[in-house]
Amino acid sequence: MEPTCLDTSLNLNVDPSSVHTDMVLEEELQRLRRENKRLTEMLTHLCDSYMVLQKTQLTQLKNANFEQDQLESRKRKAENECCTNKFGVVNNNSGECSSITEDSFKRYKDFSSSPKVSKVLVKTEASNNSLYVMDGYQWRKYGQKVTRDNPSPRAYFRCSFAPSCPVKKKVQRSLEDPTILVTTYEGEHNHGNKRGEIEGGKGSSPVCSPTATIGSVTLDLVKSGLFETAQKSSIQQFLVQQMATSLTRDPNFTTALATAISGKILHAKW
């Protein structure tokens, strides 16, 4: 999508004494409000579309995986046991194997009952070699391990926001690009609110700053799991923040706003 550039500059060449100044600024303000509303709607629509796409793709992937598993399982069983499954059911004399073996059933059961797993890629500064990813939740590290396929250590975290929360995450630097942290989330949070996104949170010490992290989050659309609503709202919040920052940084905008406000005040007094 082509980036939308907002022209926040205001035409200030109007004579301040002019009686039309207020009206012009009012119109400009209205225009900006409309633009803001339009962008918010676009963003909401974009997020909704993403959610729908994500869900359909995930379902397709699940189905594909299960079918693949079944095929492989059938093949293996045919090779090994020739049509006797471990439920003690001997198949009919036609020699056909049962489509549901214990193996595939177990796999399917495991798959369907397994906790949600999602993968998030976070780009960090090259100099930042910590394995802490600020995602709004409070995590407690319980282990670190160097794996065979990747020389950089993998850190294991548990959600410490609620004692009963089953969510875990693994953080490891990408093999291809060491500046990218691959974060794998397992399970779903059983508590409502995130914390630490703004307040920083006790115990979340050597972390990336929230805005910088959120701003550089790269979601892998193909591999990732569910895109949490919380993340969605974070991004919306971030974009709104960005817009507000760019507006307040614009000297033309602040001057125009100041003029309009002072004009209103003076007008009201008279």
Partner DNA sequence: CGTATTTGACCCGCGC
Partner DNA sequence: GCGCGGGTCAAATACG
Residues near DNA, by CB under 7 A: 139-145, 147-149, 154-156, 160, 168, 170, 202-205
Main-chain dihedrals φ then ψ at residue 9, nearest 5 degrees:
-75, 140
Least separation in angstroms between CB 76 and DNA? 10
Least separation in angstroms between CB 244 and DNA? 32
Least separation in angstroms between CB 190 and DNA? 17
Which residue, 15 or 199, has its beta carbon nearer to DNA?
A: 199
- The H or E element spanning position 209 is none
Which residue, 154 or 235, has its beta carbon nearer to DNA?
A: 154
Least separation in angstroms between CB 77 and DNA? 14
Least separation in angstroms between CB 134 and DNA? 11
C-alpha to C-alpha distance for 155 and 159, rounded to whole angstroms: 13
> What does the buried/exposed string (b/e) look like for 111-149 if buried means 16 or more CB atoms within 10 Å of the residue's CB?
eeeeeeebebbbbbeeeeeebbbbbbbbbeeeeeeeeee
Which residue, 2 or 176, has its beta carbon nearer to DNA?
A: 176
- Please give the structure tokens belonging to residue 17: 């004494």
Which residue, 107 or 123, has its beta carbon nearer to DNA?
A: 107
Query: How would you class 83 by CB atoms within 10 Å of its CB: exposed for 0-12, middle for 13-18, buried for 19 or more?
Result: middle
Which long-range contacts does 261-265 make (Cβ < 8 Å, 24+ apart)? 263/16, 263/21, 263/22, 263/25, 264/22
Which residue, 134 or 256, has its beta carbon nearer to DNA?
A: 134
Which residue, 13 or 205, has its beta carbon nearer to DNA?
A: 205
Whose tokens are 């003076």? That residue is 266
Least separation in angstroms between CB 145 and DNA? 5
Main-chain dihedrals φ then ψ at residue 180, nearest 5 degrees:
-100, 125
